[in-house]
Structure 1
Amino acid sequence: MHGGQHKQHHGHGPDDDHMVHSHGQHAGHSTAMFKDRFWLTLALSVPVVFFSPMFAHLLGYMPPEFPGSAWIPPALGTVIFFYGGMPFLKGGLSELKTRKPGMMLLIAMAISVAFIASWATTLRIGDFDLDFWWELALLVAIMLLGHWIEMRALGSAQGALDALAALLPDEAERVTPNGTETVPVTDLAPGDVVLVRSGARMPADGTIVEGQAEFDESMITGESKTVARGPGDPVVAGTVATDNTVRVRVTAVGEDTALAGIQRLVAEAQASSSKAQALADRAAAFLFYFATIAGVVTFIAWILLGSLPEAVTRTVTVLVIACPHALGLAIPLVIAISTEQAARVGVLIKNRMALERMRTVDVVLFDKTGTLTKGEPELKDITAVDGTTPRELLAVAAAVESDSEHPVARAIVRAAHHQGLDLPTATGFSSMTGRGVRAMIDGRTVQVGGPALLRELDLTETDAMAATTRQWAGRGAAVLHVVDGDRILGAVSLEDAIRPESRQAVKALQARGIKVALITGDARQVADAVGAELGIDEVFAEVLPADKDKKVAQLQARGLKVAMVGDGVNDSPALARAEVGIAIGAGTDVAMESAGVILAGNDPRAVLSMVDLSRASYTKMWQNLIWATGYNIIAVPLAAGVLAFAGVVLSPAAGAVLMSASTIVVALNAQLLRRVKLNPSQVR
């Protein structure tokens, strides 16, 4: 598993090229490289800035003079240009070769112009006062800082996954006929049984065969509460058995585990491009042409006015100022932070377009079973004949069912345990196919079964009981009768349990102006009962799996934008057809190609996180784009000297300071996304 997962550990992997082509194909430029170059460049920049006559004049101090002091800025400035500037010079060249001018070419042009102009001034070639060493130094330092921040942010959702990979233990205790042996995790194969001690991590996906424990699954689901797991329950690699030792039969190892699947999804998310990213690329190309044309026009205009030094000074200033690093930071930073924020609450964004589209959704269509409901029966009601209490009835039913593996039997036994009932001893258990089960209690035959059992025994309910059970059946509940000999003791109803979080999710979506619809293959009365209980706007019942995508198409035909939330098994076509496909409860089956978003947990409230994050990140993208490009469109003409006649000229120094400020504003603005509250349990 470790083999293929670290390919994107440092910065971008090969698949990320499209995403960063405005940054000159960072392939090979790792986060650590930008960080190291930034710190060294910053250290070298301090003396360059301090000994710069232009900067000293700005702040009104005299730099100390001693033999060779005048050569400190050019000497260190040259080191900065070649060492710190190299990633940009290489990136600029590759953008020139591919004829896709963008951010790297702009930066390369700005620092090269500053470098040449500064040397010309230092060597007194021509009558120029273009001592740009300090500006070159700060420009390179700020650009390196920007790229470092950006790549760190881009790497952090990926980093969260690398952290997941690191969560896997290196060794496992494999159970052998003679006890246990410690083996590398890579030696495990499906079918092996491993011993997982209290406090240890699961080395692979598997099913518990012995013992029960509370598992911390927060690294997969984002949910902080531990989950009880016992024999027959699936457990996932990387989760922790918090209190007991269990034996687990391995079902998946390495690349087949849920963890590896989640990592692949986020790697895809990082590589998938978005419309807004293309927008930033186009803006960078536009600014390159804008800066180049502005530079040429500035040069010609000032030459015509008869001032060569002024022409060079203004042109250089224009080209240095036009370097819009703020733009390079604007979109990737927002996308990176939003992907990372989502991953923290168990929302894995596989396709960035899904995140962007989520803000435009008009209706969220939930698949009922396993999404709004738990997908497993739960005891709902009990009715007993006179002389028997509901607790006694439940105890007898649970005793008879206790040897059955049927989900309905398990639900009855679970309900009895929850109520703390002492169960009588049942012997001679047998299952009667299609009718129910029977066992002996205190020498009497007790049977539990549905309507077929009553017909076979030729028994009829009392009128009161019949009225109650009819009402249950009308709601879509399964009704089981408990029969002692030839006497009906009472009946219990079982229904697919609604998740407690579903109610909050529906209300909160409606509060955000989004309609909620329900789709299910269940009978109309079952669907309507759930719809009524949750206050859902529209219910589609008795829909065959193959027809789910037709319902999505019908909603779209009404002009609605649809987000479909399903468990991904038979919902694939519908998930693919919807504007946003969201697969829920995918902690153990994450290979859902059709969904753009995967909710690692089973909490439908996570859909709200998507809506809020989508709206917030879109706003931030536009704010950043407007800020980044707006600053340039105003600063460049000022630097060119458009208002020189009125005495308003943007000095090279002021231009550099402004440019740095715009970069910092964009970076800080993107960081504000971290304040968007996404924890599903804090839903308003």
Structure 2
Amino acid sequence: MEHQHKIKKDPCKTAQPMKMGAHNHHATMIEDFKKRFYVVLILTVPIMLLSTIIQRFMGVNWQFTGSSYILFAMSTIVFIYGGWPFLTGLVSEVKAKTPGMMFLIGFAITVAYSYSAAIVFGLKGMDFFWELDTLILIMLLGHWIEMRSVMGASNELELLVQLMPSDAHKVIDDKVHDVKTDTLNEKDIILVKPGEKVAADGIILEGESYLNESMLTGESKPVKKVAGDKVIAGSINGNGSFKVTVSHGAKDSYLSQVIKLVDDAQKSKSQTQLLADTAAKWLTIIALVTGISTFLYWFLTGHTLSFAMERMVTVIVICCPHALGLAVPLVVAKSTALAAKHGLLIKNRNAFEDSRKITTVVFDKTGTLTVGKFEVSKIVSLNKDLKENEIIRLASALEQKSEHPIATGILQKVKDLSIKIPATEKFNAIAGKGVEAIVEGKKILVISPGYLKENKITIPDGFTADDTETVVFVVVDKNMAGYITLSDKIRPESAGAINTLKQENIKSILLTGDNSKVAASVSKTLGMDSFIAEVLPDQKLKEIKALQQKGEFVAMTGDGVNDAPALAQADVGIAVGSGSDIAAATAGIVLVNSNPNDIVSLILFGKATYRKMIQNLVWATGYNVIALPLAAGVLYNQGIVLSPAIGAALMTVSTVVVAINASLLKVKYTK
């Protein structure tokens, strides 16, 4: 984000707020599973007491005329009412030609029910209605617990949605009217009272206060806001009250864009997710093949039909790819929403998961490693006819159309000196080198040292600037008029961030459009590995490519708009300080603050997220490797055999372990 002039523009207006229907649907499903579970639980006791095998185990005989039909009737209620979610799931998966977990459970309970019903109506053998009942009971309980865990993983997103207040105090002709937030339009004026949430993005018109933006940007300290400062919808006001000029409607707000971004990222599938999906499909095939093979083996080796059936049902239940199917999505839901709460906005899941491979981080200097707030330290006239105030007055005319930190520094100095800024004609930005325009009939250029070098213009005698100062030269009608030096402080957090990267064996390189002396000074002060100075935006791309050709896995941090080509070329593009340009940035990840610690947090969080995914995948597959042979009966001769209910319990436990493991994910966030 070096001395290039980013012309002011409207924030991107494409994002729509997330609809809450999906969340409500999820809550309804949880309630449905809970209700079905309790109905089946009530029927479990009489079903168990009427089952022959349970009576034999208890040493009693409670059989009476028609008892088998009562048992059949109650089991039919359990099968149809309790098993309904699995049976409808089976039909859906068959229609979609993607047999998975619901297909396997539906198949298993249908086989168990059909066989047991045939026993009631004359087939020789032993029914296992009680196994069917306990299998459905445990599967309902497992789904209920799992869905609550899934909802918990998405709760961070829900919290983001709830940040947006539903009402606002709109000011019309000095009277305050309470209106719905979604009715606010650009240029409306709203009042924000103490302790309230800001209802819309905008600029403070009058008043001042401290705002808590931690839920939006990860910035833990309350931030002082005065007239002219931007405010974000959803941030919490302190003790002051102020009026805000609304920048845009609710659907275009920063928060709505974040919610949309998180929602999209949670739905998108990364390479790890595709790997898990493939494994789940194979597990479904293995379940069916192993289940049928187990049935044939036991039945053809002289065991009873009911024993062979029971083995098959247990194998199919154990093999359900449920934990495997949830292993990655739960971590994705948790990590994406959690990152957004800390100001790390993931646009591209693959870029985020690839952050664990980063070997080199290329830092833009201004506003990332430095505060980005340039202050004029010197104004030097090289023309006896032009005073210092005249030089900065002419320079400010050109800089008033720019948002660049250098421009901001010059304009602040003009404001401090109470100088009136003149108008410009034929304004033109010279990419990465400066600006030119006609001011009061004179052709004015405000240019960087790089422009002088490129156009073979000698730096004037008497020029002095220390290593930490950035310089712009002012040319009036082709004559060197003078120069302005500005200084930008290094952020207090920068040294710690670079040091943490070193501990992680990640190289840090400074890539800047600034002069070599400034770059060398900043690089040396922070203990960075190297620096590349006086680089124009189009050359940044070449430098990134050169690093990649040396075998480095490169993360590039820079302004989301100005550094777009380089960000797109980098293996992981990280746009910093581009809150209003979320959707416009080419980077895979957008950091709301320009804090270098956020970049470190992102890399560490990416590694932690990947670890969680792998832990879940290892658990979900490892459990099947051990449980499947036991379900098939390999240790039957040693007296170890699993019933369908135990199989269902083990499957539920594996799913809950995966859910709990995902929920333990945390952002290591240091300020």
Q: Relative to 1, partners in 2 of residues 1:275 and 1:121: Cα closer, same or farther, differing over 3 Å?
A: farther
Counterparts in 2 of 1:153-302, with a 5 A limit? Answer: 153-164=152-163, 167-176=164-173, 179-302=175-298
Shift of 1:677: 4.7
Q: Secondary structure at the match of 1:190?
A: coil
**Aligned residue for 2:525?**
533
2: CA distance, partners of 1:224 / 1:73: 62
1: CA distance, partners of 2:72 / 2:343: 52
1: CA distance, partners of 2:178 / 2:144: 46
**Aligned residue for 1:41?**
36
**Aligned residue for 1:367?**
364
AA of the residue aligned to 1:344: K
**Aligned residue for 1:611?**
603
Q: Bigger shift: 572-581 or 66-75?
A: 66-75
Shift of 1:83: 3.7
AA of the residue aligned to 1:7: K
AA of the residue aligned to 1:232: G
Q: Relative to 1, partners in 2 of residues 1:294 and 1:105: Cα closer, same or farther, differing over 3 Å?
A: same
Shift of 1:70: 7.2
Shift of 1:407: 4.0
2: CA distance, partners of 1:670 / 1:138: 25
**Aligned residue for 2:95?**
97
2: CA distance, partners of 1:239 / 1:635: 50
Instruction: Check whether the contact 1:146–1:663 (CA below 8 A) recurs between aligned residues.
Output: no
Q: Secondary structure at the match of 1:136?
A: helix
**Could you list the per-position Cα deviations for residues 307-362 of structure 1 after superposition, in whole angstroms to 9, with x for gaps in the alignment?**
34232232222223222422232222222222233223222222221221111111
1: CA distance, partners of 2:70 / 2:158: 40
Shift of 1:412: 7.0
2: CA distance, partners of 1:195 / 1:38: 45
Shift of 1:280: 1.7
AA of the residue aligned to 2:312: T
Q: Bigger shift: 288-297 or 635-644?
A: 635-644
Q: Secondary structure at the match of 1:498?
A: coil
Q: 1:344 aligns with which of 330, 341, 348?
A: 341
TM-score, normalised with respect to structure 1: 0.76
**Could you list the per-position Cα deviations for residues 99-157 of structure 1 after superposition, in whole angstroms to 9, with x for gaps in the alignment?**
22222322322333333344445556330342313322333313422541353145324
Q: Relative to 1, partners in 2 of residues 1:183 and 1:632: Cα closer, same or farther, differing over 3 Å?
A: closer
1: CA distance, partners of 2:342 / 2:52: 48
Q: Relative to 1, partners in 2 of residues 1:218 and 1:623: Cα closer, same or farther, differing over 3 Å?
A: closer
2: CA distance, partners of 1:234 / 1:58: 74
Shift of 1:411: 6.5
Shift of 1:179: 4.5
Instruction: Check whether the contact 2:204–2:245 (CA below 8 A) recurs between aligned residues.
Output: yes
**Aligned residue for 1:505?**
497
**Could you list the per-position Cα deviations for residues 220-260 of structure 1 after superposition, in whole angstroms to 9, with x for gaps in the alignment?**
21212111222222222222332323232222222222122
Shift of 1:170: 1.9
Instruction: Check whether the contact 1:34–1:147 (CA below 8 A) recurs between aligned residues.
Output: no
1:5 and 2:2 equivalent? Answer: no
2: CA distance, partners of 1:156 / 1:222: 17
Q: Secondary structure at the match of 1:662?
A: helix
Q: Secondary structure at the match of 2:326?
A: helix
**Could you list the per-position Cα deviations for residues 262-294 of structure 1 after superposition, in whole angstroms to 9, with x for gaps in the alignment?**
122112111211111112211211111111111
Q: 2:466 aligns with which of 467, 473, 479?
A: 473
Instruction: Check whether the contact 2:183–2:249 (CA below 8 A) recurs between aligned residues.
Output: no
Q: Relative to 1, partners in 2 of residues 1:245 and 1:624: Cα closer, same or farther, differing over 3 Å?
A: closer
2: CA distance, partners of 1:40 / 1:590: 43
**Aligned residue for 1:313?**
310
2: CA distance, partners of 1:147 / 1:72: 33
**Could you list the per-position Cα deviations for residues 408-453 of structure 1 after superposition, in whole angstroms to 9, with x for gaps in the alignment?**
4787799x9xxxxxxxxx9x8677999xxxxxxxxxxxxxxxxxxx
**Aligned residue for 1:654?**
646
Q: Secondary structure at the match of 1:207?
A: strand
Counterparts in 2 of 1:612-627, with a 5 A limit? Answer: 612-627=604-619
Q: Relative to 1, partners in 2 of residues 1:43 and 1:71: Cα closer, same or farther, differing over 3 Å?
A: farther
Q: Bigger shift: 193-202 or 621-630?
A: 193-202
Q: Relative to 1, partners in 2 of residues 1:578 and 1:89: Cα closer, same or farther, differing over 3 Å?
A: farther
2: CA distance, partners of 1:58 / 1:258: 65
**Aligned residue for 1:126?**
124
Instruction: Check whether the contact 1:8–1:158 (CA below 8 A) recurs between aligned residues.
Output: no
Instruction: Check whether the contact 2:192–2:243 (CA below 8 A) recurs between aligned residues.
Output: yes
Q: Secondary structure at the match of 1:238?
A: coil
Instruction: Check whether the contact 1:506–1:536 (CA below 8 A) recurs between aligned residues.
Output: yes
2: CA distance, partners of 1:63 / 1:600: 70
Q: Relative to 1, partners in 2 of residues 1:235 and 1:88: Cα closer, same or farther, differing over 3 Å?
A: same
1:566 and 2:569 equivalent? Answer: no
Q: Relative to 1, partners in 2 of residues 1:319 and 1:477: Cα closer, same or farther, differing over 3 Å?
A: closer
Q: Relative to 1, partners in 2 of residues 1:312 and 1:540: Cα closer, same or farther, differing over 3 Å?
A: same
Instruction: Check whether the contact 1:365–1:519 (CA below 8 A) recurs between aligned residues.
Output: yes
2: CA distance, partners of 1:55 / 1:346: 61
Q: Relative to 1, partners in 2 of residues 1:320 and 1:597: Cα closer, same or farther, differing over 3 Å?
A: same
2: CA distance, partners of 1:669 / 1:322: 20
Percent pairwise identity: 40
Instruction: Check whether the contact 1:261–1:590 (CA below 8 A) recurs between aligned residues.
Output: yes
1: CA distance, partners of 2:324 / 2:19: 27
Shift of 1:553: 1.6
Q: Bigger shift: 643-652 or 330-339?
A: 643-652
Q: Which runs of 5+ in 1 are unaligned?
A: 12-28, 383-400, 417-425, 435-465, 481-490
**Could you list the per-position Cα deviations for residues 370-411 of structure 1 after superposition, in whole angstroms to 9, with x for gaps in the alignment?**
2222222147899xxxxxxxxxxxxxxxxxx9xx99744787
Q: 1:594 aligns with which of 586, 592, 615?
A: 586
Number of residue pairs aligned between Structure 1 and Structure 2: 587
Q: Secondary structure at the match of 2:195?
A: coil
**Aligned residue for 1:460?**
none
**Aligned residue for 2:113?**
115
**Aligned residue for 1:680?**
670
Q: RCO (CA 8 Å, sep 6+): is it higher in 1 or 2?
A: 2
Instruction: Check whether the contact 1:91–1:105 (CA below 8 A) recurs between aligned residues.
Output: yes
**Aligned residue for 1:26?**
none
**Aligned residue for 1:484?**
none
1: CA distance, partners of 2:413 / 2:59: 88
Q: Relative to 1, partners in 2 of residues 1:72 and 1:475: Cα closer, same or farther, differing over 3 Å?
A: farther
Q: Relative to 1, partners in 2 of residues 1:593 and 1:268: Cα closer, same or farther, differing over 3 Å?
A: farther
Q: Relative to 1, partners in 2 of residues 1:667 and 1:82: Cα closer, same or farther, differing over 3 Å?
A: same
Q: Secondary structure at the match of 1:280?
A: helix
